[in-house]
A = this chain, B = another copy of it.
Amino acid sequence: MTTPLLTTLRQHLKARGIDALYVPTADPHQSEYVGEHYQTRAFLTGFTGSAGTAVVTAEHALLWTDGRYFIQAERQIKDRGFSLMRLNTPGFPSVTDWLCTHMPAGGTLAFNGRTLSRAQYDELSRALDAKGVRLLADDTVLESLWENRPALPQEAVFLHELRFSGETTASKLARLRDALGDLDGTVMSSLENIGWLFNFRGRDIAHNPVAYAYAVVTPATAVLYLDRAKYDDAFAREMTDNGVTLKPYDAVWSDAGSITGRIAVDKKRTSQALYQALSQADLVSAPEHVYALKARLNDTEEANQRETWLEDTTALVRFLIWLEQAVPAGDIDECRAADMLSAIRSRGRHYLEDSFDTISAYGDNAPMMHYRATPDSSRLLEPKGLYLVDTGGQYLGGTTDITRTVSLGEPTAEEIRDYTLVLKAHINLATAVFLHGASGHYLDVLARQPLWQEHIDYKSGTGHAVGYVSGVHEGPQRIAMMPNNVTLEPGMMITNEPGIYREGVHGIRLENVYIVKEDVTVGSDRFLKFDCLSYAPFDRRLIDVSALSEKELSWLNAYHRDVCERLLPRLNEDERVWLAAKTAQL
């Protein structure tokens, strides 16, 4: 099938001699959450998930996305003329492989140069070079068809005060320059890294406290490209005091051509357009150096983050109490539950916004791992079955991300079995002790093994980094089956979120955030461990105690004791009674 949009787009492609249009999910900064202005792929395909790539040719309209989104994407794209290509699934070629097969020799592949990263450009270039395919930056062929395209936001930024950041920009710049070694500078595109380095936050992208900006740091200079409309005089003074020069956002394009010397850029975060504009520099590709500096919390950040977690899980507990009372009365659907959670959380101290759209998923909606309830899809919560809530907040003192799955009625044996398995997976990773040098990839199997023993897998990573008042999914550390060799270092935050997703039945995920800590050093063996930041009860009714090992049960009881001790002082009398019962020893 085709649609008016596809028909018109194809006419334009033909007129410009373009054989295929490549549409990733990206803004010029390769932000994970892409603002409305850059939701070109969603505009084209109807698919609203956070990750995916579309390709349109005269004959094909295809959308690639990963296992988290298979179910959702199928539903959303089916009336838009697109077919789903499942990533990392036998029988489905990767985007690049597909293009290698289907691009005509000597043909033209177009993309938007400001939103395609240099890394993607390189990959396409390498793959299609043999066929003589021409890569063409064309920033308008699709964008010109987008009526009512949302404008670029111009929200004000605010300074992230020292009591929250724990380190001045001047000090961070000194550490960055130290890390750059004998390089002549770095051009930064990552909005979250720029916000951390210059101790400010913004509101340009929903859920991410960032603002559109670029930065260039050399041994002698630090330039922050940020529009004047976004900051006040105090902000300007603070930057000056820290040795930072302010220039308009777009000035990076005219400055780029005069940057020389050995300059670090992160090909994964730098657009092909900016990479090309840095025509006089000797570019050295490396992950932005700030990643490694930013990934390890300082003491101030950790203290704030711990306090923020208690604020956040207090809200979650109040929501769970409300849910337990409201569901039997009827009239609560997924959307309303999500709204209620947001409302409760928003009363928290230092709350900024939610860190992502809450996943409020009931019954057979929950297997869609990144499901977002809409008025169309929203199911009425009944006093039976499982309800999954994956939610988090942005606060001045930290970022949260937590998932709980609760039974709304009398749990079935299958629900108890699956929940207990996921809990075992969670505990098996949470209690890991590991030698310094271990990556999240190396530890991933600890979470999966209890499920694999039952021939169950989940189609997602086990854990992602969480930024501090920053993106809720951040690098560089990651716990996943996909290889990555980033060493877990003390002070790094990471989620632990195994799950079981039975299509058409239920979805279970249990997620806490942990911070890496020193454990014990024996001789030259430096052992690390995970220390929990998130304290909220698991659902006791869904736990088969007989299936837990002694060690697992003792972890669970200790955890529930901690939940109770830490949250009780923040609750009223009724809430205390509820929490005490939910965290009673098993």
A interface list, Cβ under 8 A from B: 89-90, 431-435, 437-439, 441-446, 448-449, 452-453, 455-457, 481, 483, 485, 519-520, 522, 524-525, 527, 549
* Beyond A435-B457, A441-B441, 15 additional pairs, beta carbon < 8 A: A90-B524, A431-B453, A432-B452, A433-B453, A435-B448, A442-B442, A442-B444, A442-B445, A442-B483, A443-B445, A446-B446, A455-B519, A455-B525, A455-B527, A457-B525
Task: Evaluate contact between B433 and A452: CB separation under 8 angstroms.
Answer: yes
* Interface contact A437-B520, CB-CB below 8 Å: no
Output the least CB separation between A92 and chain B (Å). 10
Report the separation of the CA atoms of residues A525 and B455 in the bound assembly, to the nearest whole angstrom.
8
CA distance A524 to B453 in the complex (A): 16
Set B446, B455, B457, B524: member contacting A449, Cβ < 8 A: B446
12 contacts between A and B (CB under 8 A): A89-B524, A90-B524, A431-B453, A433-B455, A435-B452, A441-B442, A442-B442, A442-B444, A442-B481, A442-B483, A445-B445, A455-B520
The smallest beta-carbon distance between A497 and chain B, in angstroms, is: 18
Min CB gap A440→B, angstroms = 11
Residues of chain B within 8 A of A444, CB atoms compared: 442
User: Measured between alpha carbons, how far is A386 from B452 in the docked complex, in Å?
Assistant: 36
In the bound complex, do residue A527 and residue B452 qualify as a contact, i.e. CB atoms below 8 Å apart?
yes
CA distance A527 to B455 in the complex (A): 7
Cβ-closest chain B residue relative to A484: B483
How far does the Cβ of A522 sit from chain B's closest Cβ, in whole Å? 5
Query: Pick the contact of A433 from B439, B443, B449, B520 — CB < 8 Å?
Result: B449
Specify which of B89, B431, B438, B522 is in contact with A481 (CB 8 Å cutoff).
Answer: B438
**Residues of chain B within 8 A of A524, CB atoms compared:** 89-90
The interface residues of chain B lying within 8 Å CB-to-CB of A525 are 455, 457
Residue of B nearest to A432 (CB): B449
Q: A485-B483, A549-B549 in contact; A445/B455 too (CB < 8 A)?
A: no
How far apart are A435's CB and chain B's nearest CB, in angstroms? Answer: 6
Contacts of A449 in B (CB 8 A): 432-433, 446
Q: How far is the CA of A453 from the CA of B519 in the complex (A)?
A: 10
Report how far A245 CA is from B302 CA in the complex, Å.
69
Residues of B within 8 A of A455 (CB): 433, 519-520, 522, 525, 527
Q: What's the Cα separation between A457 and B521 when bound, in Å?
A: 11
Question: CA A349 – CA B520 in complex, angstroms?
Answer: 51
Inside 8 A of A485's CB, which chain B residues have their CB? 483
A89 to B436 alpha-carbon distance, docked (Å): 12
Output the least CB separation between A418 and chain B (Å). 14
Residues of B within 8 A of A437 (CB): 481
Chain B residues positioned under 8 Å from A520 (CB to CB): 455
**A432: chain B residues within 8 A (beta carbon):** 445, 449, 452
A536 to chain B, nearest CB (A): 26
Report which of B433, B439, B445 forms a contact with A434, defined as CB distance below 8 A. Answer: B445
User: Which 5 interchain pairs have the tightest Cβ spacing?
Assistant: A433-B452, A457-B525, A455-B520, A455-B522, A483-B485
Closest B residue by C-beta to A503: B523
Q: Which residues of B contact A433 (CB under 8 A)?
A: 449, 452-453, 455
Within the complex, the shortest CB–CB distance from A9 to chain B, in Å, comes to 32
Q: Which residue of B lies closest to A521 (CB)?
A: B455
Instruction: Tell me the smallest distance from the CB of A84 to a CB of chain B, in Å.
Output: 14
Closest chain B residue to A435, Cβ basis:
B457
Closest Cβ neighbor of A483 among chain B residues: B485
| A520: nearest chain-B partner, CB-CB | B455
Kindly state the separation between the CA atoms of A448 and B435 in the bound complex, as whole angstroms: 10
